[in-house]
């Protein structure tokens, strides 16, 4: 089986042959989870799809399920009863315990409502942390209590480098990602020791999706990261390829890690391409001789 990916044609390696998975967060065809689900099935997996009821009504999750010959099971990832039901129904439909789970969930009401980081609404912050990070703990705890994941199973959540470094506009999602990565370590220890289940986060380049475009100045962030990364930004398809390796048996001793799929961005300081673009901006400013503008919230 082949699938076209921009200029290259990739083979299917059947890396997930016979494996059963659950994929959270496929909202529409731009979603990173969407690409991962498609890629996982190409690699021989069977899986169920899940998202919130509201997202399923707005989004196109059912279309993907039809295409992949599977079912959608609604679950709010912050609701433990929903998660319990999701794992039970998934094992029932797929005919056995689960081998891999993808957590691809992020949402901040503070970002949505443009609350500045120095003026957060704390109810919103609780929601950000619950949806974007604590849901990962809830998912892992539920799976473990049900003993729903096979030995050498693999759980991956998607993260962003703002967990380590400060990015303008990323707001309270930075704190959520820091917590998410910490949960991967803390639960990875317990789940690894007891059941040989591995838990990792993949820190992905900025990617044009519904969640991504909610971030302030996202188009410029995308351009900046592209110029800074020696290999360029990683696309959603490339994130899918990487996640497949983590779900496969080829990475059985990889756990408790935050793994960067970012074209090298996270280890860069300054690149020639970014510097050249910055110089152009400086020339324009000196030509116009405009007084510096005051941005209180920048």
Ligand X SMILES: NC(=O)c1ccc[n+]([C@@H]2O[C@H](COP(=O)([O-])OP(=O)(O)OC[C@H]3O[C@@H](n4cnc5c(N)ncnc54)[C@H](O)[C@@H]3O)[C@@H](O)[C@H]2O)c1
- Binding residues for ligand X (CB under 6 A): 24-25, 27, 31-33, 51-52, 55, 76-78, 104-107, 131, 158-160, 204, 206-207, 209-212
Q: Burial, 122: exposed, middle or buried (Cβ in 10 Å; 0-12, 13-18, 19+)? A: exposed
CB of 196 to ligand X, least distance (A): 25
CB of 249 to ligand X, least distance (A): 25
For strand 8-11 and strand 98-103, is the pairing parallel, antiparallel, or unpaired? unpaired
**CB-nearer residue toward ligand X: 136 or 191:** 136
Task: Indicate the helix (H) or strand (E) that contains 73.
Answer: none
Measure the CA–CA gap between 181 and 282, rounded to whole angstroms. 37
Which has the closest alpha carbon to 224: 169, 175, 164?
169
The full 3-state SS of 218-238, as one line of letters, equals: HHHHHHHHHHHCCCCCCCHHH
**CB-nearer residue toward ligand X: 54 or 284:** 54
CB of 90 to ligand X, least distance (A): 15
CB of 17 to ligand X, least distance (A): 26
In sequence order, the 6+-apart residues with CB closer than 8 A to the CB of 84 are 142, 146
CB of 20 to ligand X, least distance (A): 20
Q: What is the CA radius of gyration of the chain?
A: 20
CB of 52 to ligand X, least distance (A): 5
**CB-nearer residue toward ligand X: 31 or 248:** 31
CB of 217 to ligand X, least distance (A): 12
**CB-nearer residue toward ligand X: 79 or 150:** 79
**CB-nearer residue toward ligand X: 150 or 266:** 266
**CB-nearer residue toward ligand X: 107 or 291:** 107
**CB-nearer residue toward ligand X: 40 or 211:** 211
Which has the closest alpha carbon to 174: 156, 185, 157, 160?
160
Measure the CA–CA gap between 166 and 189, rounded to whole angstroms. 27
Task: Indicate the helix (H) or strand (E) that contains 11.
Answer: strand 8-11
């Amino acid at each position: 089986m082949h699938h076209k990916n921009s200029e290259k044609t990739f083979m299917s390696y059947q890396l997930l042959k016979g494996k059963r998975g659950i994929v959270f967060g496929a909202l529409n065809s731009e979603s990173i989870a969407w690409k991962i689900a498609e890629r996982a099935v190409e690699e021989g997996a069977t899986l169920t799809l899940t998202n919130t009821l509201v997202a399923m009504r707005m989004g196109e999750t059912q279309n993907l399920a039809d295409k992949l010959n599977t079912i959608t099971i609604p679950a709010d990832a912050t609701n433990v009863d929903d998660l319990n039901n999701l794992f039970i129904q998934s094992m029932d439909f797929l005919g056995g315990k689960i081998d891999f789970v993808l957590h691809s969930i992020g949402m901040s009401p503070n970002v949505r409502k443009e609350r500045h980081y120095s003026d957060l609404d704390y109810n919103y912050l609780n929601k950000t942390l619950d949806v974007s990070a604590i849901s990962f703990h809830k998912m892992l705890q539920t799976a473990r209590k049900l003993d729903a994941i096979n030995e050498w199973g693999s759980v991956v959540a998607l993260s962003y480098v703002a967990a380590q470094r400060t990015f303008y506009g990323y707001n309270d999602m930075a704190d959520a990602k820091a917590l998410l990565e910490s949960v991967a370590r803390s639960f990875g220890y317990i789940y690894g020791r007891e059941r040989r289940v591995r838990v990792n986060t993949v820190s992905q380049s900025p990617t044009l999706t519904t969640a991504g475009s909610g971030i302030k100045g996202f188009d410029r962030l995308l351009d900046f990261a592209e110029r800074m990364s020696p290999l360029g930004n990683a696309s959603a398809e490339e994130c899918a390829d990487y996640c497949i390796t983590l779900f496969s048996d080829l990475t059985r001793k990889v756990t408790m890690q935050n793994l960067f799929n970012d074209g090298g961005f996270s280890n860069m300081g300054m690149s020639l391409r970014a510097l050249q673009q910055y110089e152009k901006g400086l020339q324009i400013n000196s030509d116009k001789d405009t007084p510096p503008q005051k941005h209180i919230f920048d």
